[in-house]
């Protein structure tokens, strides 16, 4: 690799010390680097310094460029930012030597249907979450997979996740961990009012729809859909969120001396 884009969360990189270390190392090796987003599409890689939130925001914003991303963890857990800041020089050496692989990760697209009309649409790297708001104690959620009714939840909400997002909120809600390059969609209810409600995993070629039901005849249900926790749309009774595999895919770099299961083991503390 010869050309490097650098994206830094300044709140995470105090005094920009890690960023400056990277810049100096690239200059020492006569590599091109830029922080100007207008030139990102010309780069061989985008180095993303921050936490998983920074990585997801960058992926959503620049996925259209088709440039692979490498996350450098300046946060806490960091499943997506797999390179720890103490190993950044080794990671740069691997990139320069071609000692890496590029993974292709699926995304989701979610449309909000209100009274038969699409009122919002957005993409997600991790998940699309429909959850209760306001004074609603529980919300009724009708789950459909490819036009077939699967279940009706009385719950705090439901998470529709990519394999990449399976280690996020989905994991905290008791959902399964899925290998990130699989082509599936994971659906996990949040605190369901039932002992039998469980996560389901469906093919990435299928569609998932969640409809807001009415638990009280005289009261509109209050709910919200969020995309990666960064974009939100309010929902009402009978609104429907239709979720499919996106046409866009995120390219992520994995260094050859690491793998998903090693990262998983280290991040979960089972070492």
For 115-183, strand residue ranges (E) read: 117-124, 127-132, 139-145, 148-155, 157-161
Backbone torsions φ then ψ of 262, nearest 5 degrees: -65, -45
Please state, in angstroms and rounded to a whole number, the distance separating the CA atoms of residues 225 and 158: 10
Residue in 11, 13, 44, 52 annotated catalytic: 52
Please state, in angstroms and rounded to a whole number, the distance separating the CA atoms of residues 30 and 271: 38
Q: What angle in degrees, to the nearest 10, is found between the helix axes of 88-97 and 17-28?
A: 30
228's torsion region: left (phi>0), alpha (psi -120 to 50) or beta? left
Contact 44, 4 (CB under 8 A): yes
Q: Is 86 a catalytic residue?
A: no
Where in the sequence numbering do the catalytic residues fall? Answer: 52
């Amino acid at each position: 690799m010869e050309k490097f884009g650098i994206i830094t969360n300044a709140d995470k990189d105090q005094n920009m010390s890690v960023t400056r270390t990277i810049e100096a190392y690239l200059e020492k090796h006569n590599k091109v680097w830029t922080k100007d987003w207008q030139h990102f599409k010309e780069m061989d890689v985008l180095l993303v310094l921050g936490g998983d939130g920074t990585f997801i925001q960058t992926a959503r914003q620049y996925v259209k460029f088709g440039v692979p991303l490498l996350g450098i963890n300046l946060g806490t857990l960091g499943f997506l930012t797999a390179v720890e800041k103490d190993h950044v020089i080794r990671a740069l050496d691997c990139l320069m030597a071609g000692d890496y692989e590029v993974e292709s990760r699926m995304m989701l697209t979610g449309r909000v249907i209100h009274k038969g009309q699409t009122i919002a649409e957005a993409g997600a790297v991790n998940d699309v979450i429909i959850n209760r708001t306001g004074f609603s104690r529980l919300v009724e959620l009708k789950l459909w997979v490819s036009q077939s009714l699967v279940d009706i939840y009385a719950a705090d909400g439901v998470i529709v996740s990519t394999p990449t997002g399976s280690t996020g909120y989905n994991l905290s809600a008791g959902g399964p961990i899925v290998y990130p390059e699989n082509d599936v969609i994971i659906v996990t209810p949040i605190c369901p009012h039932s002992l039998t409600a469980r996560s389901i995993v469906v093919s990435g070629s299928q569609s998932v729809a969640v409809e807001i039901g009415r638990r009280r005849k005289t009261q509109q249900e209050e709910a919200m859909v969020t995309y990666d926790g960064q974009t939100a749309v309010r929902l009402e009774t009978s609104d429907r969120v239709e979720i499919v595999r996106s046409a866009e895919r995120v390219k992520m770099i994995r260094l050859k001396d690491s793998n998903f299961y090693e990262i998983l083991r280290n991040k979960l503390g089972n070492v």
